[in-house]
Amino acid sequence: MAAKDYNPYKTAQDQFDRVAGMLDLDQATRDLLRNSLREHHFSIPVQMDDGGKKVFRGFRVLHNDARGPGKGGIRFHPQETIDTVRALAMWMTWKCAVVDIPLGGGKGGVICDPHNLSLREQELLCRGWVRQLARNVGPFSDVPAPDVMTNAQHMLWMLDEYETIHGARYPGFITGKPVGMGGSLGRTEATGYGLIFTVREALKEMGIKPEGTVASVQGFGNVAQYAIELFTRIGGEVLCVSCWDQEKQQAFTYKKQDGIDLGELFPITDSFGSINQEKARELGYEALPGGAWLEQEVDILIPAALENEINAENVNKISKRVKLIAEGANGPTTIEADEGIKEKGIFLIPDFLANAGGVTCSYFEQVQSNMNYYWEKDEVLGKLDIKMTAAFMATSEMAKKNKLYMRDAAYVIAIDRVARASQNRGWV
Amino acid sequence: MADYGSAKKISPFNRNFFNGGEGFTRIGNGSLGGKAQGLALIRDTLAAKFQKNRFQDIIINIPTLTVITTHFFDRFMEQNDLYEIVASDLNDDHIASHFQKTELPAEMIGDLRALIAQVRVPLAIRSSSLLEDAAGSPFAGVYGTKMIPNNQYDTDTRFRKFVEAVKFVYASTFFKNARDYMKAAGHSIEQEKMAVIIQEVVGLPHDRRFYPNISGVARSYNFYPLSYAKPQDGVVNLALGLGKMIVDGGLVWYYSPRFPRVNPPYKSTGDLLKSTQKNFWAVNTGKPPPHDPINEAEYLLNLDLRDAEYDEVLPYIASTYDIQSDRVNIGTTGKGPRIITFAPILQAEILPLNELLLILLDLSEKTYGHKVEIEFAMTFDPRSGRPPRFGFLQVRPLQISAESVKIEKEELKHSTVLVASERVLGNGTLNTIEDVVYLKPDNFDLKYSRAVAAEIEALNRRLMGEGRPYLLIGFGRWGSSDDWLGIPVNWSQIAGAKAIVECTLPEMSIDLSQGAHFFHNISNLGIYYFSLEYSDEYQIDWEWLDSRQVAAEAEFLKHVHLASPLKLKVDGKRGMGVIFK
């Protein structure tokens, strides 16, 4: 969660203002896009297991839907703020636009700690959230999805409530559903695979063959695991991976000189992506401090865990051998660190491009749900590759043509697309 | 000879099939497989040594292709836990079904999707296995090839059909036919890996169908030389439509490229009418057929010559029988039955096809240092103003034994002879056959040929299981797709035979097999193949066979076990062979 004095919405607006200047957007367009289009703030009363009533605060922000229905997750978090939700909704707009999927950006949340709620209470909370918004969200207006501390079960409760209110089946109302209940094959792999599709294309552009390249990965959750799997399959080697140790309450980096082996790490990893240190040592892994992943002699860095992990303090520790950083996490690099990366001449695949495989596959899920016809995994992953590759190429071409940093190029493409859509609709 | 075993010398697929600058690319880093290696080699030979100036008006090339290398086959098999499935005793349909339920590796799927998104012409999805077409163990025709029309408006539909075809070709690695072939060739299934060639189909669009004017197979060595020619004069088979007609051993035109104007030895005009091509194969680009991804011929049409007449392709390949004058005239100007003789090309020389084949055979032979076989397809449509096109589809070395065996003609008439012939395929000697399986001449009729095939299959399975090689004797063409020309077996049904005899009965007017695709493989496995017509001077000693101890008997065939092995000799140079009792 954000530090006390850090306001992500301000960061998002600053980023926007800078790119709006580059695009020379008119004032009305700037006013439209630097703010949310719609916001819902509401209360959700829940009857708790002890018989008492408790009222939770919920939000849904739609930043922009000029290019299509809003899309974005629902977060359950005790420190949720409306500004965090606003910033994330804006970033969703840019993410959908950069991969050119016909969706806008949204985000929702509830101030709560699911750890302290029974399943029944969580279900009531989900149903309550939908009851407040049932007329303002839907398959053709705003499509929620799982996010921090929400999962497929929460989505099914929400879907059920929505369908009960509207008296029909609308599987396209929400994404992140389990396969067989309106979910899409390939969704689990999508973010990690999508990340590696962009890495593959970046290497191609740099004239480097993936065989023989070595990467270091931060994080060992869903995104990192599938990214490592595909990266290894295209010939690369992963030297180390870092993860959070719940028991010791600190992060560690696990390193093996001839490359980590997913097959041996999976059985000693819990469902949150924490590797059992004792067993890892038995398997010959070196346990290094959490930040060591960044300092390794590798070709590629893949931060796929938390925000602000590459910052002014550690950017100079990046080895000279590193040629590429692919941001699997959201916001892993601070603005100051960006300057350091530019100076070092490292090629960067920015987060909202590199990790857009997830939302792209959510879009596929929504399309399939709306048709009530589901594709084979080959079809899903084939389309994902094409989308990610095209998005990468467009961004890279923009960067080269206008001599822009990749992050700026991606923002220019995304904001330009949304601005044009808003203008074409006659809004501004 | 350049080594194309590793794919590194071939450019990677750049997601641009027709306009990428490279007509021959690869997806993945493994091996290209035998068939694709052959094509890569001949591509370089054509570029370096082929003198195009004599054929300025013809486009001569290898149709655009990309190869999914064997690396992805391994990945596909492991990812989908398929080794367990293929190790079981499932039949081909079940294996194919299991393969359809799988997923292709994520790292290749984007390339395939990109390819299909931009290509809307029929594609051939072809096998190119590690062992396929390697000198010494060619696997021609053993694995699946699937043609897809690829003309649906929707990319998703085209992609689905395409993926189904790739999975079908992967599955064909483990079909019974292939497994039996592997066993007979002394390989284990674990040695085999499959690359897949994705190649544009050479052809022209007609009303709801797509096919080439000519498909052909040309060999620089003929195991069955025509009377006027020597084995080294070679042989060419030509067919209207897709090459499946030739591969399946159907009725097609054949001639020696040294004597292109000499017709095959038909006894009469009636014989010519009866024994030339009546049907042809095309890709179905019209109404979608019922969904059947495990059927190799799902998108193929077997059409009548009347369809080709409607498409106006016959004037350049056919002759016409004039009933009143009892003459066969080149072309289709008069009324009368059309006969696919390719006379406008071979006799009137409206296209220098034969000259081109002689040059390509020579070039291929020099490249391989072996006798060779090439496959090709050709299109031409003078009305359109487009130049004719010659598509080079495949080249493979022919295996010819080096053992020197000499047979004197007197030996063929010796009293101890069981079978003798002057038209024998193979070369060498063999003294290990103690079992004979033969069709009973007394109750044989071609109308029962399918039932005969089933009986042979059962017996073959048993003898193979017991490790007992046998001599197989039957009537008509072995492996014919036409029940009325012979026994319609596929290779797996007779794979345990070490020597095969095809012969005719008095009332049978059938030209025996001419070494079609199927028999090419038999030859390369070292199987001896005897051809014997009833009117020949040598006869089978049926009485002796009937007096042997019967090991098994079915309605149409008998299995006898001998007290001592037969002695077999084949003089490959002179095409003579004899089996002593």
If DSSP codes are grouped into helix, strand and coil, which group holds residue B438?
Answer: strand
Start-to-end Cα distance in chain A: 35
For residue A380, give how far its alpha carbon lies from the nearest alpha carbon of chain B (Å).
Answer: 9
| Inter-chain CB proximity A234 and B107 less than 8 Å | yes
Within the 14-73 window of chain B, which residues sit less than 8 Å (CB to CB) from chain A? Answer: 15, 29
A7 pLDDT band, cuts 50/70/90, is confident
Q: Give the Cα separation of A304 and A371 in Å (integer).
A: 33
Q: Which two tokens stand for residue A106?
A: 């949204």
Position A125 scores a pLDDT of 97
DSSP state of A317: G
Cα→Cα distances B102→A189, A345, B77, Å: 16, 42, 9
For A259-276, the three-class secondary structure string (H helix, E strand, C coil) is CCCHHHHHHHECCCCCEC
CATH number of A188-349: 3.40.50.720
| pLDDT mean across residues, chain A | 94
| Residues from chain B contacting residue A235 (CB–CB below 8 Å) | 29
CB contact under 8 A, A378 and B75: no
Residue B574: count other Cβ atoms within 10 Å of its Cβ: 15
Query: In sequence order, what are the beta bridge partners of A254?
Result: A241, A287
pLDDT value of residue A420: 97
Contact assignment for A386 to B117 by CB distance below 8 Å? yes
Instruction: For residue B63, report the phi and psi dihedrals to the nearest 5 degrees.
Output: -55, 145
Interface contact flag, B103 A379, Cβ < 8 Å: no
Q: Which residue of A has its CA nearest to B114?
A: A386
Q: Which of A205-214, A406-415, B245-254, B301-310 has the lowest mean pLDDT?
A: B245-254
Model confidence, pTM? 0.78
CA distance B240 to A123: 69
Which residues of chain B lie closer than 8 angstroms to A381, CB-CB?
103, 106, 109-110
- Give the CATH number of domain B7-201: 3.30.1490.20
Q: Could you report the per-residue pLDDT of A105-137, keeping only the tens digit for each?
A: 999 999 999 989 999 999 999 999 999 999 999
Residues of B in contact with A382 (CB under 8 A): 109-110, 112-113, 159
What pLDDT tens digit does each residue of chain B (581 aa) get?
A: 555 555 667 999 988 888 877 899 999 988 999 899 999 999 999 989 988 888 889 999 999 999 999 999 999 999 999 998 888 878 888 899 899 989 999 999 999 999 999 999 999 999 998 887 554 555 556 788 999 999 999 999 999 999 999 999 999 999 887 887 777 667 777 778 999 999 999 999 998 999 999 999 999 987 666 667 788 899 899 999 999 988 877 788 989 999 999 887 776 788 788 878 999 999 999 988 888 888 889 999 999 999 999 999 999 999 999 988 888 999 998 889 999 999 999 999 999 999 999 999 999 999 988 889 999 999 999 888 889 999 999 998 886 666 678 888 888 888 899 999 988 877 788 888 999 999 998 888 888 888 898 899 999 988 887 878 899 999 888 877 777 778 888 777 888 888 999 888 887 766 666 545 455 556 556 688 888 888 888 889 999 999 998 999 999 999 999 989 999 998 877 778 999 99
Q: Which candidate in A184, A228, A378 is best for mutational testing of the B interface (most B CBs within 10 A)? A: A378
Question: Known catalytic residue: A323?
Answer: no
Same fold: A35-176 with A188-349 = yes
Plot region of A156 (φ>0 → left; ψ -120 to 50 → alpha; else → beta)? alpha
Domain spans of chain A, in order of start? 35-176, 188-349
Q: What is the pLDDT of residues B365-411, one digit of tens each?
A: 999 888 899 999 999 998 888 899 999 999 988 866 666 788 888 88
Residue of A nearest to B103 (CA): A378
Q: Choose the catalytic residue: A95, A107, A255, A387.
A: A107
So what's the pLDDT on residue B250? 76
B114 touches A at CB < 8 Å: yes
Altogether, the residues listed in chain B come to a count of: 581
Q: Are the beta carbons of B156 and A375 separated by less than 8 Å?
A: yes
Minimal C-alpha gap between A215 and chain B (Å): 18
Please answer yes or no on whether B29 and A211 come within 8 Å at the CB atom.
yes
Look up residue A305 and give its DSSP letter: S
Q: Diameter of chain A by CA atoms?
A: 65
Cβ–Cβ gap A376/B114 under 8 Å: no
Which residue in this structure is represented by tokens 């100007």? B333
**Residues of chain B with C-beta less than 8 angstroms from the C-beta of A234:** 107
CA angle in degrees (0–180, nearest 5) for B201-B100-B450? 75
Which chain A residue lies closest to B157 (C-alpha atoms)?
A: A379
CA angle B19-B25-B26, nearest 5°? 135
Contact between B558 and B442 under an 8 Å Cβ cutoff? The reply is no
Q: What is the pLDDT of residues A47-74, one digit of tens each?
A: 999 999 999 999 999 999 999 999 999 9
Are B110 and A376 a contacting pair at CB < 8 A? Answer: no
Closest Cβ opposite residue A382 in set B29, B75, B159: B159
Please enumerate residues of A whose Cβ is less than 8 A from a Cβ of B: 189, 193, 197, 200, 211, 230, 233-235, 375-379, 381-386, 389
Q: How many inter-chain contacts (A to B, CB under 8 Å) are there?
A: 51
Chain B residues in contact with A378 (beta carbon < 8 A)? 103-104, 109, 159, 163
Cα separation, A42 vs A21, whole angstroms? 35
Provide the percentage of residues in chain A whose pLDDT is more than 90.
90
Amino acid A2: pLDDT? 42
What is the C-alpha to C-alpha distance for residues A163 and A233, in angstroms, rounded to an integer? Answer: 42
Mutation target to probe the B interface, by most B beta carbons within 10 A, among A200, A201, A228, A385 is A385
pLDDT (0 to 100) of residue A1? 42
What is the interface pTM, i.e. ipTM, of the complex? Answer: 0.74
B159 touches chain A (CB under 8 A): yes
Residues of B in contact with A386 (CB under 8 A): 110, 113-114, 117
Class of A35-176 per CATH?
A: alpha beta
Q: Whole-angstrom Cα distance, residue B193 to residue B196?
A: 10
